[in-house]
Structure 1
């Protein structure tokens, strides 16, 4: 999720995982930044450092993006009720 420090219009944009972003939003220290009009990355955006070469980026994707990815990969998410359920299905061994 893309966030910026609350009240800082020109502040650095950071990308946080779902849990970290929710914590920052609930604390009131950050606000959501919308995507650029063309859907690309916003200038100055700084994402999280990858944990390892095998890690995925499911935590920073929206639920809609994950649903589309599951459809592309033919992963059954019919029983998924939350974003976490979809991520679990996508990460499950085949």
Structure 2
């Protein structure tokens, strides 16, 4: 795994077990694909699925329309989420 020690710029490569130990200890953070890493919660990045469960029904309907997913027969938020995940 690609990690970065907190407060430093250098990227290190660790095996899975060592990386998990370093992350759990709080001494390292995951380095993203660009090699930058983040010390704050991972924000949604391009290509990642948004937090569908945290979205309102109106936002889900808008997202479905943008993706071309027909949710007209969805009776509730859970059905819209299921349709979006299946698409």
Q: Same fold (TM over 0.5)?
A: no
What TM-score, normalized by structure 1, do the two folds share?
0.40
Bigger relative contact order, structure 1 or 2, given CA contacts below 8 A and separation 6+? Answer: 1
With the length of structure 2 as denominator, give the TM-score of the two structures.
Answer: 0.43
Q: Greater helix share, 1 or 2?
A: 2
